[in-house]
Amino acid sequence: MPRKAVVHEQDYAVSEGPVRLTVVVGDRQYGSSMVFLDDAPLSNGDIDELPIGGPEIAGKTATVYTIVTDVSDATDNLSVTWMLSGGRKRSLATESAPASKKFGSQMFKGIFHFRQ
C-alpha cells in the first residue's frame, strides 16, 4: 500500500489579478508535481509561477500532487513548499517528512480552496 500522503489544506482569497502557484521541492531532493483545478489538469513537472486563474476561480479547488524522492546522501528530509500569489495576500506553506527508507519516495498533497 502506498505511504500515506502528507496533506496541506487551506483557503486562499482571490483578488482582481491572476493567482499564481509555485511548488518548491526543497532539501535538494527530486520531485515532480501535477496540478488540477477541480478535476481539470492544469500542468505537471516543475511548477513555477503557474497562472491558475483570476477572480473566476473563486469557489474552485486546486489540488497539487507532488511526489518527492530521496536522492541526497546528505539528508533524508523531504519537503515541499507551496507559494500562492496574486490574491489578497501572498501565501507560503511548507510540509516536510523523513524518507521512509533510503531512496524512498513520499507523496505530498496540497489542497487550496479559492474564495472571494
Q: How many helices (H) and strands (E) does the chain have?
A: 0, 9
**Strand order across the 105-115 sheet:** 6-13, 105-115, 61-69, 30-37, 40-45
We find the least distance from the C-beta atom of residue 116 to another protein, in angstroms, to be 28
43 touches another protein by CB under 8 A: no
Contact between 101 and another protein per CB under 8 A:
yes
Residue 75 touches another protein, criterion: CB under 8 A: yes
Least distance in Å: CB of 55 to another protein?
28
CA distances from 21 to 28, 77, 88, 101 (A): 20, 23, 14, 30
- Whichever of 56 and 102 has its CB closer to another protein, that residue is 102
Tell me: does residue 40 bind another protein (CB under 8 A): no
- Least Å distance between CB 20 and another protein? 17
Least Å distance between CB 31 and another protein?
7
List the one residue from 16, 40, 56, 74 that touches another protein (CB under 8 A).
74
90 sits near another protein (criterion: CB under 8 A): no
**What residues form DSSP beta bridges with 38?**
none
Alpha-carbon separation of residue 60 from 12, 30, 74 (angstroms): 10, 29, 40
47: three-class secondary structure by DSSP: coil
